[in-house]
């Protein structure tokens, strides 16, 4: 997508979104986290992978690290990566704000 957009002179933005493994865990988040451990998902493996991705995308000017965008909220995930409706609402509002209110100058 980035290459195609660049070819046509269109600015491309991607967002590495929060997961249960990238944000502060409140009490409700901990309930989901414990269930994910119960079904066999490794906290260490997913946290390590996420940290590697965050480091990698620092070098890319078209991917925004949004993993911290929902830290102030609790109980938005129904598994380690999928959000409830309210979580999707919050993340879409943050993306809108980034794109249209706090937008960096197009390079």
Quick check: 2 pLDDT over 80? yes
Higher pLDDT, 89 or 103: 89
Segment 39-55, tens digit of pLDDT: 766 666 667 788 888 99
pTM equals 0.75
**How many Cβ atoms are within 10 Å of 56's Cβ, its own excluded?**
11
Residues 6+ apart with CB under 8 A from 90: 69, 70, 73, 76
């Amino acid at each position: 997508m980035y290459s195609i957009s660049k070819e046509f002179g269109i600015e491309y933005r991607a967002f590495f979104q929060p997961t249960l493994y990238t944000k502060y865990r409140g009490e409700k988040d901990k309930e989901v986290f414990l269930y994910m451990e119960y079904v066999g998902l490794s906290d260490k493996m997913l946290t390590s992978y996420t940290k590697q991705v965050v480091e990698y995308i620092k070098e890319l000017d078209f991917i925004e690290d949004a993993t911290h965008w929902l830290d102030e909220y609790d109980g938005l995930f129904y598994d380690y990566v999928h959000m409830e409706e309210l979580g999707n609402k919050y993340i879409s509002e943050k993306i809108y704000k980034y794109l249209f209110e706090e937008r960096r100058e197009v390079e």
